[in-house]
Homo-oligomer: A and B are copies of this chain.
Amino acid sequence: DGDTFECNYDKLLIATGASPIIPDLPGIENEGVLPLKILEDGRILKAYLAEHNVKKAVIIGMGYIALEMADSLRTRDVEVTMVKPRSRLLPWLNEKLSNVVWKELEDNGVELYSGHTINSISKTNNTLTVHCDDRDFHCQLVLPAIGVKPNSELAKEAGLDTSIHNAISVDRFTNTGDPDIYSAGDCADAYHVVTGKKTWVPLAVQANRAGRAVADNLFGEGLKLQGIASSAMFRVFGLEVARTGLNPHEAGEHGFDPVEITIESRSRAHAHPGSTTMHVAMVGDRQTGLLLGAQMVGREGVAHRIHAVAVALHAGMTVADFWQCDLAYAPPFSPVWDPLLTAANQLSKKVQ
């Protein structure tokens, strides 16, 4: 193999990242079926759109990369159909909030087919066809966007441990267990600040922070990572969607006794023009009163608000503690009771 070479090391960093999961479908190799992960994939997609008359695209998957692609393609006036085998859009999201996202997609002309198993892809002349059990979708572009997997094969072959989702197992100092081998980025796991257990969330902030920890730890400064809260946000059409911490299902799996409330509040003060609906779901532990997580959907003021909950999770706050936090208020930005505080107040009645 011409690509093989040998190189000695004192210390080794494995930063092999993640790769898109390519569905094992007959016809997946057809031209016009384009995966999405790295910058080059985006360039290829852009070139494909420039060179082909793409009137309609089918996106396989409905995760947030899939949703961001739907948004981008609709902006270019491409018709978009999204297909996935499971029934729920964003199954990690509270169902009420998920329905708000569903409606936003429909309002922006995206056709949604959840609960449809995809069997194969075929191509005739310039038309691709995505074949499901009960119907076919014709298009000029197929984007499989069903998630990513850690590139952990090298680590495995080297005898290093992997954990959840086959991510490379690292301690809080980014060490793999071999004292001279570190790992960071989308290939490595992390500790969850709420559960204290291993988790794998291949997102940019943790990857960057772990990279910095590796550098410090290689030079003996001992930077210990406190872990991640599974914080994530995205925009899809006019909606901001954000999450941090555990949903009730995840909380239950980790031994908590979760209770969740959902509220509807407003993005601005009562009398302020331009106010829109904000949906908040918040989860606490019935036994201890601990705050476990929150999710939000709305047209403004959602994304950066989730940071406050993430900080509270790092601090191990109870719901009652969080309600006491002095969140700022001004009419253009919030009702007097911030939606997060209203949610915490409702939730505090259901815990302890």
Contacts and interface: CB of A to CB of B under 8 A. Distances in A.
Contact of A336 (B205, B225, B301, B324): B205
Contacts of A304: 301, 303-305, 307-308, 333-334
A317 B127 CA distance: 57
Max chain B Cβ within 10 angstroms of own Cβ: one of A193, A242, A306, A325: A325
A314 B307 contact: no
Given A303-B333, A310-B308, A328 B231 contact: yes
Given A235-B332, A332-B235, A205 B315 contact: no
A205 B329 contact: yes
Contacts of A301: 303-304
Q: How large is the interface on A (under 10, 10 to 19, 20 to 34, 35 or more residues)?
A: 35 or more
Contacts of A228: 326
A240 B303 CA distance: 16
Contacts of A337: 205, 208
A295 B341 CA distance: 22
Interface string A217-245: 00000000111111111110000101110
A145 B235 CA distance: 40
Given A225-B324, A304-B304, 5 more contacts: A231-B328, A232-B330, A233-B329, A235-B332, A314-B321
